[in-house]
Structure 1
Amino acid sequence: MSNKSSLYPKEPTWFCNRLKSRLNIPAPAASWIYEAGSITQRLRDYYGSRVRVQVLNNQWQRAFISESRLLKTHPEKYSLTREVLLYADDIPLVLARTIIPEATISSAQQNLSHLGNRPLGEVIFPYPRLERLAMQITQVQCNQWRPPIQQKAFINQPLWGRRTVYAIHHHPLLVSEFFLPEILNH
């Protein structure tokens, strides 16, 4: 196992949320980046049951160094890494990468290790004391994606994204979400 992602060969450059005024985020992208609720629920509110999850990667591997720092885990420690494409009517909407340390899986009674094609948001947002601890923002250029992902997600322009550290029972997980052009219209 390696710390490679099926989405990108090296991780994007992330910026602190407090720099948002300098990032010139267009309003449609900002609407998704600063969504306080579940992205999955927002998609379901618009697309209904047509929202689907395609799992691109789901395995134990090392996180990128900055991901380990945010999660406060040792860089050599393996975490469950899940990368997915959310879509509706065969239209790609969101690419997501989730890093879940073993302690977080244990504290969530294993619910996070057997998601299959279920969206993560439908599992974590019902937790009574889900905490949002930190958020960072990025813009990923077309050439920063792996070619198979570029083709599968129809990436032909820079994508805005966010990564959020959530905690369940005080145990963290990291969710990175990248918003594809189709959803910026909603």
Structure 2
Amino acid sequence: MKAYGLPSHPYNLTPSALPIRSLLFQREPQWVPAHVLKHAYAPTAAGSWIEESGSLTARLRRIYGGGFGVKVLGQRWNKPYPDEIRILGLAWQRHTLVREVLLQDRGQALVAARSIIPREALRGMQCRLAHLGNRPLGELLFAYPRLARLSLEVSRIEPSHWRPDCLGELAPQGEIWGRRSVYAVASGQILVCEFFLPALITPT
């Protein structure tokens, strides 16, 4: 039964039939609180992006103008990674809307993003999050007047973390830094993970 106008599972698959948890990663990233990293060894090249308190989408639009765009890799109902379940306080068997995209400049990937959107957050945002298409999630989130970031964590991603079929497009020559934020919206919480790719950190 489809409630609140939410999208059904793609290809009529049941949640348990979905084959993989991520189209980006072959294993779950490991995260630490941002303040822990800052006192240890903060990355200089990615630092300003990790610490960005405003809309990442708005900042990218200011830099890249009309070349900025979103490529949707997948948006589907799936079971999140164990630590994503933990940080959102979800029941172990819960499935959420998992959205994975690339933020691009004229087709060049700048940021890889993964968002975990529980069903109650969709209801609270009048289901607009479920029907974004190629629009950036940040554009909708930061338009929400009561948006609040509840936590910020960082991760260092080695090339071996990525799915092999992503390596060509993402072009990670070494470690990639990422951040994840839990946002409070309406009646729920959303987890947004963003990974800063070489084309953004070391532009030619």
- TM-score norm. by structure 2 comes to 0.87
Distance 2:176 2:62 in 1: 22
Alignment partner, residue 81 of structure 1: 98
Residue 123 of structure 1 corresponds to: 140
Cα distance in 1 between the residues matched to 2:86 and 2:198: 30
The answer to whether the 8 Å contact 2:114/2:192 transfers is: yes
- Counterpart CA distance in 2 for 1:10 and 1:75 is 18
* Aligned residues: CA RMSD: 1.3
Structure with max Cα Rg:
2
- Please give the alpha-carbon distance, in whole angstroms, between the structure 1 residues aligned to 2:125 and 2:52: 24
CA separation of 1:126 and 1:9: change in aligned 2, threshold 3 A: same
Matched, 1:158 2:175: yes
Alignment check: 8 A CA contact 1:3 1:64 kept? no
Q: CA deviation at 1:11?
A: 0.8
The runs of 5 or more residues in structure 2 that have no matched partner are 1-17
Aligned to 1:117, the other structure's residue is in SS state coil
Q: Counting strand residues as a fraction of each chain, which structure ranks higher?
A: 1
The answer to whether the 8 Å contact 2:121/2:188 transfers is: yes
Q: How big is the shift at 1:6?
A: 0.7
Deviation readout 1:11-70 (Å, 9 max, x if unpaired): 111111221234422222010001000111100000012111111111000111110111
Match of 1:32, SS state, is helix
**Range 15-24 or range 172-181, more displaced:** 15-24
Q: TM-score if structure 1 supplies the norm length? A: 0.95
CA distance in 1, matches of 2:39, 2:167: 27
Equivalent residue letter for 1:54: K
State the match for 2:152 in structure 1.
135
Match of 1:33 among 26, 50, 54: 50
**2:68 matches 1:51:** yes
CA contact (8 A) 2:61 2:68 kept: yes
Farther off after superposition, 37-46 or 20-29: 20-29
**CA separation of 1:64/1:3 partners in 2, compared to 1, >3 Å: closer, same or farther?**
farther
Contact preservation (8 Å) 2:171, 2:198: no
Partner of 1:16 in structure 2? 33
**What is the SS of the residue equivalent to 1:183?**
helix
Q: 1:5 to 1:146 in 2, by over 3 A?
A: same
**1:170 and 1:117 mapped to 2: Cα distance?**
25
Q: Structure 1 151/181 Cα, relative in aligned 2: closer, same or farther at 3 Å? A: same
Structure 1 contact 85–95 (Cα < 8 Å) conserved: yes
Q: Could you tell me how far apart the structure 2 residues matched to 1:49 and 1:73 are?
A: 38
SS of match in other structure, 1:19: helix
Give the Å deviation of 1:92: 1.0
Of 108, 119, 122, 1:91 maps to: 108
